Structure formats: C-alpha cells, structure tokens
Amino acid sequence: MSRRAVCIAILVTLLLYAVPWWRWHSASDREAPKFRLNKSFDPIDRGLPRITEEFISGDPGSRTVHVSSICEMEDGRLVACWYGGTREGARDTAIYLAVRDPGMPGPWSAPREVVNRDSASRELRRYVKKLGNPLIFADSRNRLWLIYVTIAVGGWSGSSLNLKVSDDGGRNWTPSTRLTLSPFINVSELVRNNPVQMSDGSLAVPIYHEFLGKFPEILWVREEAGGFRVRKTRIAGGRSFTQPSIIARDPCCAAAFFRSCSDERAVGRATTMDAGTTWSEPQHLQLPNPDAAVNAFPISRGRILLALNESLRGRENLQLALSSDNGATWQRVARVEEDKGAEFSYPYMMQDSHGRIHLVYTWHRRRIKHVVFNEEWINLKLQGASG
C-alpha cells in the first residue's frame, strides 16, 4: 500500500468515525435527562379509607399465571397484563391482556392473548422457544408499551427483551422489536418493575441481568424516527441483587429497591443523585426478602410504598411497608395476604388519576389478583399500628 493510499484510508476512517460523533453532537439528548415526577391526582374519595379486592383473571384450570403489571390510559381505562401457560417456562406460555373500562366497580374484560411464541417467532423472524415476564405501561402520549421476554435456548438466563407499542389501547400492536442489550449473544436481560418517565420524553425501564452475574440495570428507551434508540447502564454489579424498582423523589434523586439473591436475605437499596447516571453501592435494609420480587411506588408527601414478601424463606404472605425517608427506614402498613404454604408473589403497583393505588400480584400461581386502596386507607392502617 502506497503512502498516498494510507493517507486516503486514514481520512476515510476519520470520516467514518465523524458520523457517530456528529449524531451525538447534534442529538438533543446529549445532556443526561432528569426524572419526570408523577402527575398530580384528582382524588374522588378523599377522607374515606377504601380497599377493594377482585381477580382479574378467571380460574385457569390447570394453567398457571404469573408476573402481572397494570397501567391506566388517559381515558381512565385500566390495562393489565401477565403471562400464563401450563407451567412457568412452558412452550405454550402466552402474554395475556385484560382491560377495565372507567368507572368502578366494573368487570375486567376476558383475557386476550397479545403474543404467543408463534406470533413472536413470526414477528421477530427467528426461533422462539418460550415467552416470559411482560411489562405494560402507558407513555405520555397515551400509547401502550409492552416489553416482554423471549427465550431461544435454555432457561431464564437465555432471555432477551422485545418491545411492542399500541396506539389504540391494546387492540392492535406494532410487530415486536428485538432489543440488543447484552454483548454475550444478547442473552440474560429481563424486565419486571415500573418504568420512570424522563424529562426528554425517553423512558428509564428497570431491567436486570442474570447469567454469570445477577445485577440490576436501567434500559433507556427513546423513540426516534423509524424506531427506538436504546442504551443500558448498570446500577450495580455482582451476584446479589436483581429486579430493581426505581422511585424518583425529585428530578435528580431516586432510590432503587432490589430483590436479594444473596445469602443475606434482605431487600436491597441504592440511591442516585444524578438522575440514574451513577448509583451508590447497594445496602441491605432491615426488610426480609426470600429471593422474591419487590415493588416500590411513590405516594404523597415524598413517601414510598413497598410491596414485598416479608419472610426469609417463602412467598406465603404479601406485606405493604411505608417509608418517609427515601427508603432508609420502614413502617409496616398492612398484610394484604397470608396463607401458609401458598404463594403471593410479584407485586406491582400503580396510582391512577384519582389517586387510588392499584396492586396486582400472582395469587397461588393460578390467578392475578387486583387490590385497590387509597392513601386514606394507608393512613388509617398506620394510625392503627401506632395506636
């Protein structure tokens, strides 16, 4: 190669690298976005403590259901989703969705299949062995997002994440988009808890990795012309914490709570002061955790509500706890479920536009239960506990 050819090749190289530099330089999101805090509410039953319970999914016979999430559309409709099949990780597992029209009480619609392994395989144009954890949420433009797990090889450690969006409340969906988030043949990325809206319109979705390590991460998703731009950052490394649940206190500060998978069976917590860019080293709290999912949710006066299995071994109870100091210390609010040998797991909470808190969770692995209460009920329970 002549000296002239080398010079031309160097110039071409610099031009090729100038393209991503220019994209980055001209991008509006070059500055790290801040957390967008939750909307204000319009309470319709202020002063009256309320709690109601119901099942979203009917009796599934011998089938199991698991990993539910719920969100509210702009018109007040509630949308819940979960996965169901003959057993966890079975090939007949599908993602189901049910809708409830505004105005409570009212029946939930019959569960409808949104994705199964055949449709996922068709949309992703590759082999899909089974499906798993779905997460549904509504964005600021009133569109539904569904992020769900597919597995081509192996068990949960072979998971990859996929994304679908619906403009019409879940009736029609875009084809699934595969998200590449791991350098090791894109496996071992899973999703569980509520996303956080960011100031630039992007979303911070808590995800986790479980292959050689088990650790919490954040998936940053931003919609761009013709698709989605994704990136991922780590909350912590190691093998001790998964399934982060992130609560933003102000535009920069947030706390994350983790399922513990170490020998120290206690809920983990880390904090950020720069909108999720860096995180403190996770610490164990004085809250037991039997290697089970927890879900945290911000409520009024800067308080955090946490749903957890308060046990060192099983998932036979479901407890609500409250913190007024960003998750450092906790007060027990109420035990929602307790039955020896049973399973009440994978809680997920959401607050609707009237301030009601919706808690959904797996009930005996057979049904998805929906409990609705308001903050007055929480306050009443706290008064009862202190009195």
Partner 1 sequence: MSFAFSFLFPWLLALLMIQCVAVKVKKPPHGWRLTTILAVISGIIAFLPVGGLPLARWLVGINANFSFPLVAVVFNKAWEHASGSRLFDRQASMASWVFGLYSGLVLYPMALGLGGFDPYAFGWGFSWLFIILAMVTIAFLLIKNRFAAVLMACILGYDLNLLESQNLWDYVVDPFFVLFSFAALSNRLIRRMRKPFSD
Sign of CA dihedral 167, 169, 173, 177: positive
Q: Least separation, in Å, of the C-beta of 204 and partner 1?
A: 14
DSSP state of 129: -
Q: Shortest CA distance to 95 belongs to which of 79, 109, 115, 118?
A: 115
Per CB under 8 A, 121 contacts partner 1: yes
* Binder of partner 1 out of 81, 95, 128, 287 (CB under 8 A): 128
Nearest to 157 by CA among 203, 89, 209, 215: 209
- The strands making up 64-72's β-sheet, listed across from edge to edge, are 64-72, 78-85, 94-100, 112-116
User: From the CB of 10, what's the least distance to partner 1, in Å?
Assistant: 5
142-161 residues near partner 1, rule: CB under 8 A: 152-153
Residue 273 interacts with partner 1 (CB under 8 A): yes or no: no
| Selection from 279, 156, 272 nearest residue 209 by Cα | 156
Residues 3-32 that bind partner 1 (CB under 8 A): 6, 9-10, 12-14, 16-17, 19-21, 23-25, 27
The answer to whether residue 259 forms part of the interface with partner 1 (CB under 8 A) is no
CA-CA distance, 36 to 136, in Å (whole number)?
A: 19
Interface size with partner 1, residues (CB under 8 A): 48
- Hey, what amino acid is at 225? A
Regarding 222 and contact with partner 1 (CB under 8 A), the answer is no
**Strand 78-85 with 266-272, pairing:** unpaired
Q: Which of 186, 199, 331, 379 binds partner 1 (CB under 8 A)?
A: 186
Q: Closest separation between CB of residue 217 and partner 1, Å?
A: 8
Query: What x/- string results for residues 280 through 299 when contact with partner 1 is judged by CB under 8 A?
Result: -x------------------
> CA separation (Å) from 342 to 55, 194, 316, 382?
16, 25, 5, 26
Give min distance, CB of 146 to partner 1, in A: 19
For residue 216, say if its preceding peptide bond is cis, omega within 30 degrees of 0.
Answer: no
* 182 is an interface residue for partner 1 by CB under 8 A: yes
**CB of residue 256 to partner 1, shortest distance in Å:** 14
Residue 223 DSSP code: E
Interface with partner 1 (CB under 8 A), residue from 46, 50, 87, 122 = 122
Q: Which is nearer to partner 1, 171 or 231 (CB)?
A: 231
Does 180 participate in binding partner 1 (rule CB under 8 A)? yes
Provide the H-helix boundaries in the chain.
Answer: 3-26, 117-124, 375-386
Binding footprint of partner 1 on the chain (CB under 8 A): 1, 6, 9-10, 12-14, 16-17, 19-21, 23-25, 27, 121-122, 125-128, 152-153, 178, 180, 182-186, 209, 211-215, 229-234, 236-239, 281
